[in-house]
Structure 1
Amino acid sequence: MEGQGINGLVIGSSQENPNTVPVKTINARTWTSIVECISALGVALNPLVIFKAKSIQEQWFKKDFLAKHPGWHVTFSENG
């Protein structure tokens, strides 16, 4: 759902359609932090995605993305 050029980082799910993952244009550069954790006991915490923004934009997600990924947390910070 986010990207930096052809060979850059892409955030998205390829499980819905393994032949395509949406990528933004090469000029779109933003800071996005992703926090994932698996404890020493093997317990995984739900992922947290932090966008650099003043608010969450609805167009950043497919309408059903969060519904298909229960437990994911999405927030924003002016620092990313």
Structure 2
Amino acid sequence: MRRSLAMEKRGLKREEIEGWLLANGGEKSGEYRIEGPGWRVVFLEGRTELLGPMHFPVVKLRIEAEEDLFENFLRRFRMHFLRGGA
């Protein structure tokens, strides 16, 4: 059984996320999907939001993984892209 979670990442470019996924065993499977052993990430939307004169990338994605891999994969993903405010 697979579990999935949709999320929105702000301040990250799609290329940054793709790079981490590919470095962690993933392979491109079409234009919007990267698949690895027991997991898949689908890019749903990418856009830029404005805050005054600043532009921030926003990426919506869905993470899918086998039940026994899901929590560990999600934890590693979140920890890698954790950002602190200033």
- Which TM class, normalised by the smaller chain length? 0.3 to 0.5
Larger strand fraction of residues:
2
Q: What TM-score do the two structures reach when normalised by structure 2?
A: 0.31
With normalisation by structure 1, the TM-score equals 0.33
Q: Which structure is higher in helix share?
A: 2
- Higher-RCO chain (CA-CA 8 Å, sequence separation at least 6): 2
